Amino acid sequence: MDLKEVKERMQNGKLYFPTDEALLSEQAEYMEILYDFNNTRPSEGEKRAELLKKLLGGVGKNCYVEPPLHANWGCNTYMGDDVYANFNLTLVDDVKITIGNHVMFAPNVTISAAGHPVEPGLRYRQAQYNLPVTIGDNVWIGAGTVILPGVTIGENTVIGAGSIVTRSIPANVVAYGNPCRVIREIGERDRKYYYRDLEIDLE
C-alpha cells in the first residue's frame, strides 16, 4: 500500500496500517512542534499562540491551551474562537477533529478519532481506522471525559466528568456516564441556579 492510498484510507474510515516510513516522518515534524509548545514558559503566551497555529490545522481567535497538550498529529484538529483547554487535553487526530466556538475542556479530556479492530490478527498487524469527531459551539466537556471515534456533540451541551462518550449526543442537554447518555435537557432551572441550589446573582 503506497503513501497516497494510506492517506486516502486514513480519511475515509477504512482499515489501514499506520507504519509507512514517509507517513511517520511527516508525523514526526508535528511532534517536534508539539514538543516546543509543551516546553514553553508560562510567561511565553505569544510564543505558545504561534506554535499552536503551526501545530493545529486551524485556530480561531482567543484560544488558550494549557500545556501539556498531547496529539497524534495536531494538524487534523480545528478549533473555533474562544476555545479553552485545561491541561492534558489529548487529541488522537489521525482524522479530522472539529471543535466549535466557546468550547471548554476540563483537565484530562481525551478525544480519539482513531480506533483498532477487535479481531486479534488485524490488531497484531497494527491495523487502524479513523472516524471524525465534531464538537459544537459552546460545549463544556468535564474532567476525565473520553470521546470516541465518530461522535458528534451538539451545541450548548454539557458532558459530565468521567464520561465515556461512545455515541453522538444532541444539542442543549446535560449528559454523563459510562456509556455517556442524556440525563436531561438544559432548561428554566439552569437559568436560575448555576450549581445545585446556588442561585445566579449576576446582572
Instruction: Report the relative pairing of strands 114-115 and 129-130 from DSSP bridges.
Output: antiparallel
Residue 194 to residues 13, 180, 187, 203: CA-CA distances in angstroms?
40, 22, 12, 14
- The three-point CA angle 34-150-93 to 5° equals 10
Active site residue 102: no
Q: List beta partners, residue 135.
A: 99, 153
Closest CA to 49 of 35, 29, 38, 64: 64
162 three-class SS = coil
Look up residue 116 and give its three cell numbers.
Answer: 483498532
Exactly one of 47, 116, 125, 192 is catalytic; which is it?
A: 116
Residue 128: how many CA atoms within 13 Å on its side-chain side? 21
Return the active site residues: 116
